Structure 1
Amino acid sequence: MTTTPPHGRALAATDLHGVELFSGLETDQYEWLASAGVAADLADGEVLFRDGERADWFCVLISGGLVITTVVDGREEVLTRHVAGEGHGARENGDKPSAAHGFTGEMPLLIGGDYVATATAVGRSLVARYDRDAFLEMMVRCPRVTRTLIPVLAWRIHSSEVQAGQRGRLNALGTLAAGIAHELNNPAAAMARSSADLAAALPQLEERAQAWGAAASEAERAAVAAAREEILGRPPASGPRDALDAAEVEDEVSDWLDGHGLARAWRLASAVVDRGLDADWLDALARGMRSETVVPALEYLDVSLAAANLAGEAGEAGARVSALVGAVKEYTNLDRAPEQEVDLVQGLESTLAILRRKLSGVAVSRDYQPDVPVVLGYPGELNQVWTNLIDNAVDAMEGGGSPPELGVVVRLEGTCAVVEIADNGPGVPSDVLPRVFEPFFTTKDVGKGTGLGLHLSHRIVAQRHNGSIQVRSAPGDTRFIVRIPADGPGPGRVCRLPDTPGR
């Protein structure tokens, strides 16, 4: 439903004389403009149109002011302000043409879309509104209006793309920061926990080592040292795979350790069975020792293996942190030249790692052909494309009836490297498919999309990499297909398709 401001009245030609968009017109042109438009007399804070409403009007500000806002991530942001008569004929800081203060709503009206922002009156304001037919006739009847309007329209498109690019980078950084915080939390907590437990275990280890060293003969110390190395040399989880079998063996080992007087027998039993050993192995170890040294040996083994496991856990957590830092560095391409050889698989894997939190619950399948060469391009920009496509795919699968599945394919097609991002969501409606790469077009709820993510992705692929991006969609199978020259984006090296939406 479109907002219709009250206080409408007929326009007079004299109302329009001070509007820069209408300056220098003939008397009959002013009279036609007055008869074709409808006045909206707005009180302070009154809404002229809202974000997401169908664009039915081209609005010309006669007096007063308008603030243009949009909702981003639940927060209202001011995009710009229009003030009637501001800087007539000049450009203000930020290169905004003065005529841009005088009108709004032309872009969504021209493309038959929805308003992409909300316009609210600042102070008492008078606005002339023209429907689409009158707007188009205006440009024919009044060529001077068209000459003023077109440069402003071009400036607005460029500014919107710049803002969307900045917002896209900020969104990517926000996604990156959230992903890093989430991914670092688990290994960092594991490192802190293991370090604290290891610090607590060291005094006990020292005590047991001294007791064992004092009680054991040289041969016994060598035998226990060899047993310790044998346990640690075996891979973890090399014991029985069946849970019932493992529990049975662990009970037997615990009974054996209990029978030999070891307190907390469960901990050493778990370590022994996890490495594929059993009570017979302990029997063989004990047979080579005097009866009075068996318990000190087991106590030393217990504490020593526990400390080694804690150190191993801290090391594994540190390795996960290092791997995450590597993924972040690869994703952001820190300290690298802007144009370089790009490993597409590496970039996709880094993007998947960064988005792992959002991908929770999504089954990800990979099909990477081994013969795909590196491409010459801009890795940071390509990673932004992968982020947009994967993020959109996950959003499209939300609330679907099937378990979400994301497919990532990299293959070679002639001289083109091809990346496919597929999802099993409900698909893109056939009437929407031809418009998915248009600027400001979005099917997401108000505040959840700018309508520029796919448009910018298209520009990055087509203009920066001489490639192409297309979409094919059916219920349960939507695919975005990116083609990039495998031998670099030089002259004559292109990977483009006929401009047929949805091919």
Structure 2
Amino acid sequence: MSGQRMPCSPKEIGSLFLFEKLTAEQLGRLCAEGRVELFEPGPVYAEGEPATCFFVLIEGEVVLSRRVGGDDIEVVRSSHPGSYTGAMQAYIGDRVKQVYNNSMRVTQPSRFFVLPADVFASVMREWFPMAVHLLEGVFFGSKNSQRLIGQRERLLALGSLSAGLTHELNNPAAAAVRATATLRERVAKMRHKLAVISSGPYPPEQIASLIEIQERTTELVAKAPSLSPLEASDREDEISDWLDDHDIADGWKLAPTFVQAGLGVDWLDQVAASVDEEVLPAAVGWLNYTVETELLMDEIEDSTTRISSLVNAAKQYSQLDRAPYQNADVHELLDSTLMMLAGKIGPEIKVVKDYDRSLPRIPSYPAELNQVWTNLIDNAVGAMRSAGAEGTLTVRTALEGDQALVEFRDTGPGVPAEIRNRIFDPFFTTKPVGEGTGLGLDISWRIVVNKHHGSLQVDSEPGDTRFQVLLPLTATEGEAAPVDIEDTETPEEPAHVS
């Protein structure tokens, strides 16, 4: 939008704090190469357009906004003469993409001193060469530091996840190794016991009956019910008494195995009815090895299934074998992250999943959303640990209008009101030196807002802190190819108001 050209007064321009130290000659050059324009209420420029001008408010009111999802969010409103915005980084040249980082509109007739971007860059370099060097150093140094520390943040998270994953994988792997060694021993004893039975003077029909019982037993083991400790204890006593009554030695050692397999005295009665009394102890011993073998194979299956689940969770978490931008099931992403962080969360923190399974798949960069979940869960766990050993983490999903809500709620001490508006700032952290970079929430904010056009907000009071992520259910029109997170802009004040 173009304004109405008006006379430029060096004296008036010199009254603005930006230019109050300039000489008359310099003010004359500004008026000669710049201009004063009057804008009627309405838009002046839009976010993302080429940054062609530097604007300084003389009188009126200016409103700056950023586009978040489908909404324009007001970030600055000022009527202070001298407030400036526009092509503020023109002095850097084409080393930075020169676009407006916000949208500007005026709410009443407003006059601006407007300086073309190339003129602004020229006078900056000519009049303030040292200041330009300092600003360039601050600008690029800050971006480089942020990129390096962001990489360190991800490496630290990866190291922590790797250590947790190694621990989680080690437990089922060790269990499978132990069970395999024990299984080999039990199978050998079962073969020996079968050889003893088959070499004795027992009719073939009894051996056949025992083998039939063995087959039925394996089916019963697969369907073993879950018993309470009291129920298991009572059943162990019943089986021990039965074995003692039938002169089977060490019945108290056999009873727990039979109970774990879901077998009771009715099953033992069937065994006793199928064989002669003199072969019963050997038959029960042989069937005990059969039951132990089945239980050990179940343990190996559970352990290897757990390992497979962890590996799949790691693949889902990293998204290494998937497209970077895709329609993803947010619950799969949350589950994989929670599984990866299970060791870090620990048993003392209860995890509650309150999922709305009707949520549709959402267009997203899943690997980067997993990074957001990791940061938010890690912060929640750390907050609860700082207040005590226990706590509850609730992960909730819901449909809110045309957006998907993902909420992380913890029972920690809360975020103090005085720092609540700073927690998304780069490098801001409440952790001790060396324990946090202050980029976790900043990176999360940029992933959610800049890359997914959603929103990230916090609502906190002692015992109830909620970080809420809202994500669009449909892809943004003209969605570009995925870019590296460091290439997105850091959340900052779109204009400087003094």
Change (3 A) 1:267 1:231: farther
Shift of residue 372 of structure 1?
0.9
**CA 206–276 in structure 1, closer or farther in 2 if over 3 Å, else same:** closer
Does 2:399 match 1:412?
Answer: yes
Q: CA deviation at 1:415?
A: 1.4
The 3-state SS of whatever aligns with 1:234 is: helix
Label 1:244 to 1:391 Cα distance change in 2 as closer, same or farther (>3 A).
Answer: closer
Which blocks of at least 5 consecutive residues in structure 1 are unaligned? 1-25, 27-94, 96-138, 494-498
Partner of 1:387: 374
How far off is 1:406 after superposition? 0.8
2-structure distance, mates of 1:240, 1:390: 33
Of 455, 458, 461, the residue aligned with 1:468 is 455
* 1:295 CA displacement: 2.2
1:330 maps to 2:316: yes
Would you say 1:321 and 2:307 are equivalent positions? Answer: yes
Q: 1:485 to 1:183 in 2, by over 3 A?
A: same
Tell me if 1:345 matches 2:340: no
Contact 2:426 2:442 in 1 (8 A): yes
Query: Per the alignment, do residues 265 and 237 of structure 1 end up closer, same or farther by CA in structure 2, a change over 3 Å counting?
Result: farther
What displacement does 1:153 show?
1.6
Separation of aligned partners in 2, 1:293 and 1:423: 62
Are residue 255 (structure 1) and residue 230 (structure 2) matched?
no
- Could you tell which deviates more after superposition, 301-310 or 483-492? 483-492
Conserved? CA contact 1:238–1:275, under 8 Å: yes
AA partner of residue 173 (structure 2):
A
1:444 matches 2:431: yes
8 A Cα contact 2:424 2:445, kept in partner: yes
Deviates more, 1:355-364 or 1:306-315: 306-315
Aligned to 2:476: 489
Cα offset, 1:328, TM superposition: 0.7
Change over 3 Å in CA distance of 1:492–1:209 after alignment to 2? closer
Q: Is the 8 A contact 1:377 1:489 kept in 2?
A: no
Residue matched to 1:296? 282
Match for residue 80 of structure 2?
none
Question: Could you tell me which of 141, 165, 168 is aligned with 1:180?
Answer: 165
Deviations 1:289-316 (A, max 9, x none): 2223222211211222222222221121
Code of the aligned partner of 1:285: V
Match in the other structure for 1:150: 135
Letter matched to residue 469 of structure 2:
V
Q: Is the 8 A contact 1:267 1:302 kept in 2?
A: no
**Structure 2 SS opposite 1:338:** coil
Q: CA deviation at 1:245?
A: 4.3
- 1:487 is displaced (CA, Å) by 1.2
Aligned with 1:278 (options 243, 264, 267): 264
Q: Name the amino acid aligned to 1:158.
A: K
CA displacement at 1:348 relative to structure 2? 0.8
In the aligned structure 2, how far is the partner of 1:443 from the partner of 1:240?
A: 46
2: CA distance, partners of 1:492 / 1:167:
29
SS of the residue aligned with 1:446? coil
Q: Is the 8 A contact 2:448 2:455 kept in 1?
A: yes
What is the aligned counterpart of 1:372 among 343, 359, 371?
Answer: 359
1:375 and 1:487 in contact (8 A); partners too: yes
Indicate if the aligned counterparts of 2:313 and 2:336 stay in contact, CA closer than 8 A.
yes
Residue 209 (str. 1) matches residue 180 (str. 2): no
Whether contact under 8 Å (2:356, 2:398) holds in the other structure is yes
Deviation at 1:194, TM superposition (A): 0.8
Aligned to 1:200: 185
Alpha carbons 2:328, 2:362 under 8 Å: kept? yes
- Distance (whole Å) between structure 1 residues aligned to residue 301 and residue 226 of structure 2: 25
- Contact 1:250/1:273 (CA < 8 Å) preserved in 2? yes
2:235–2:259 contact (8 Å) kept in structure 1: yes
- Structure-2 separation of matches of 1:252 and 1:174: 52
Q: 1:257 to 1:159 in 2, by over 3 A?
A: same
Give the aligned residue type for 2:387: G
Distance 1:250 1:433, change over 3 A: same
| TM-aligned CA deviation for residue 272 of structure 1 | 2.5
User: Aligned letter for 2:129?
Assistant: R
Name the SS for the 1:203 alignment partner. Answer: helix
Q: Give the aligned partner of residue 65 of structure 2.
A: none
How much has 1:423 moved relative to structure 2? 0.9
Match of 1:396 among 378, 383, 389: 383
Amino acid at match of 2:355: Y
Could you say if the C-alpha distance between residues 236 and 270 of structure 1 is closer, same or farther in structure 2, counting changes exceeding 3 Å?
A: farther
Residue identity in the other structure for 1:221: I
Contact 2:445 2:456 in 1 (8 A): yes
Q: CA deviation at 1:456?
A: 0.9
Deviation at 1:261, TM superposition (A): 4.0
Q: Where do residues 421-432 of structure 1 align in structure 2 (5 Å cutoff)? A: 421-432=408-419
- Aligned letter for 1:243? P
Q: How big is the shift at 1:238?
A: 4.7
Distance 1:202 1:272, change over 3 A: closer
Shift of 1:218: 3.5
TM superposition shift of 1:224: 2.2
Per-residue deviation at 1:239? 6.0
Match of 2:145 in 1: 160
Deviations 1:213-243 (A, max 9, x none): 3344333233323333333323579568453
Query: Amino acid of the residue matched to residue 143 of structure 2?
Result: H
- Superposition pairs for residues 13-92 of structure 1, below 5 Å? none
**Residues of 1 paired with 2:398 and 2:264: CA distance?**
49
Two-structure CA RMSD over aligned residues (Å): 2.6
Please report how far the alpha carbon of residue 200 of structure 1 lies from its aligned counterpart in structure 2 after TM superposition.
Answer: 2.1
SS at match of 1:427: coil
Distance 1:211 1:183, change over 3 A: same
Structure 2, unpaired ranges of 5+:
1-22, 24-94, 96-123, 481-491, 494-498
Relative to 1, partners in 2 of residues 1:352 and 1:381: Cα closer, same or farther, differing over 3 Å? Answer: same
In structure 2, the CA distance between the partners of 1:181 and 1:431, relative to structure 1 (3 Å rule), is same
Residue 70 of structure 2 is matched in structure 1 by none
Greater shift, 349-358 or 393-402, is seen at: 393-402
